[in-house]
Amino acid sequence: MSAIEDFTEEAGLFYERLGLSRTAGRVVGHLLASDDDSADAPDLCEHLSVAKSSMSVALRQLEQAGMVERFRRRGERRDRYRLAEDVFGRAFRAKMAEFDAFQELAAHGLAAVGDDPHRRKRLENMRDMYAFMADRFPALLDEWEATR
């Protein structure tokens, strides 16, 4: 297996841990490391040894998540896929929505434990850390985008 193929497999596992399908993660890895900045679905199926149906699901998932863009080159009949312009910023902003869910979970936990200071301390730490992240990360992403 080549270094590029190893990277593609690693990307598949990495993005699978983040909630995408392994195939979707492999597509991201392939598009990151490919000598071409785009590919059509049959090319992706061939390079990644994936069934057409699995590829269709993965590409739909990536497109709906805003991670890939579908386009067509002039004169060609097949759609092609490329990473979205700000794929990582978009992905991170989408994950930031989970900060609110963690804060809600902590609030439910605080209500459940009542006045017990030992258990409250852990839950308050969880709530406060995610509130801090929710407050600070948007500005960091805006700063990142401005530097690009």
Give the pLDDT confidence score for residue 128 in this predicted structure. Answer: 96
Cβ partners under 8 Å of residue 24, min gap 6: 15, 58, 59, 61, 62
Q: 77 and 97 in contact (C-beta within 8 Å)?
A: no
Note the pLDDT tens digit of each residue in 50-92.
999 999 999 999 999 889 999 999 999 999 999 998 888 877 7
Q: Provide the 3-class DSSP secondary structure of residue 80.
A: strand
> H or E element: which one contains 23?
helix 22-33
% helix, strand, coil for the chain, step of 5:
70, 5, 20
- Please check whether the domain covering 3-85 is classified as CATH 3.30.43.10: no
What's the CATH fold of domain 88-147? Helix Hairpins (1.10.287)
pTM above 0.85, yes or no: no
Residues of the chain with pLDDT under 50: none
Tokens of 45: 């199926």
Question: Residue 126 corresponds to which amino acid?
Answer: M
d(CA 83, CA 52): 20
| Domain residue extents for the chain | 3-85, 88-147
